[in-house]
Structure 1
């Protein structure tokens, strides 16, 4: 059984969705181990041993590529690993595969970090800094526009076929309201988003540990995620 150390965030959802899309089922083929990032579970030595950057998700597969256990951190790397292991959602030809990886990197280097900053300054920052809110809200809108234009020519983000690029991007757009987005400005992306949201495996993936996540309204959780606890030397 594959063990996934995770929390119901966009990066966690990517891996949950991918496993379910590959035909695996929670409780039968893989297990979700909650890492409560608001309580500081990500700093425990056992988790740091498999995720040295203290970020979820991390995965342990007892049957790695050489038949030996393998552990992985970074959600993008996990998606590529699972695509290789199960032969799903990453094309076999070089040209098509690199197009998918291109858009996966777009998510890892742009969509995730920038939308994450938009969330932080719009929702979580202890003081409202107009410059930061405008900067990251505008960048979120720019990135949505990039994806909307891409979908003018393709059914999915990286081409005509559903891929790990779609799986990586979709969870980050579920909080569109927190990012200052008006879907009316991105009709093609909204249509894509609705199609992905209807997939049964996606619905199962985003439901994993959904009841465990609570709003980060207390000072302790904010300190753990954004304050001195996050930056303590380890």
Structure 2
């Protein structure tokens, strides 16, 4: 059994998507980011960066003590190696998947996350930030679109590269992006969206970057976006 410490962010959803694709037994342990549950000592023991997702694998390959992991890219890599799927074993195939996994972690996720924040969650409009991150996210969408021009998946067969990227394309409207401008990406996105595992992953899940968000209290905003740091350390 795998415990998944989860909130419905793109990074949380990519881990859930892997577990659904692989049909691994898991249970979801929700973490309310707005309430500061990511700062609880028990959670920090698993995820010292106080971010979701995190997992505890109670049945690691080879047995032994449970394995705890934070960082979604590391989790995807660990799980793929655990079950021997979604990551090729040959040198060239493995390298191809890993470079796109790290591209998502270092580029697509951070840039899309920034424009999602400034478009949806920021308390005031910051034109320079909106323009800068919209343009960079558009460039990254273009990179992925060109990659998908002659292939069904990002790197060979379905892999952790696809699983990592898909949840960051779901909120494309909040990113200021029109998928019609990226036809190859749109075809891949629609194919991924129709997979049974994707449908199960997103069932009942609200998009955290949806343009219309429930009103947040000022305290929730400060906790969620790091202005207060660890609430436990405040006087």
Report the TM range for the smaller structure's normalisation: over 0.9
Structure 1 residue 184 displacement after superposition? 1.5
* Contact 1:2–1:30 (8 Å) recurs in 2: yes
- CA drift at 1:122: 1.3
Q: Could you tell me which residue of structure 2 aligns to residue 11 of structure 1?
A: 11
1:21 match: 21
> What corresponds to 1:38 in structure 2?
34
SS in 2 for 1:15: helix
Match of 1:96 in 2: 93
- Structure 2 unmatched ranges of 5 or more: none
Number of aligned residue pairs: 228
In structure 2, what is the Cα distance between the partners aligned to 1:231 and 1:106? Answer: 30
Task: Please report the TM-score for the alignment, with normalisation by the length of structure 1.
Answer: 0.92
Return the alpha-carbon distance in structure 2 between the equivalents of residues 216 and 187 of structure 1: 35
What's the TM-score once normalised by structure 2's chain length?
0.92
**How many angstroms apart in 2 are the aligned matches of 1:232 and 1:131?**
31
Taking the aligned partners of 1:129 and 1:9, their CA distance within structure 2 comes to 23
Secondary structure of the corresponding residue to residue 14 of structure 1: helix
Counterpart in the other structure of 1:78: 75
Map 1:169-208 onto structure 2 (within 5 A): 169-207=165-203
Aligned counterpart, 1:2: 2
1:60 partner SS: strand
Task: Tell me what 2:222 maps to.
Answer: 223
CA offset at residue 65 of structure 1? 3.3
User: 5+ unaligned residues in a row in structure 1: which ranges?
Assistant: none
- Cα RMSD between the aligned structures? 1.8
Structure 1 match to 2:158: 162
| Residue 117 (structure 1) aligned with residue 124 (structure 2) | no
Q: Which has the higher contact order (CA 8 A, sep 6+)?
A: 1
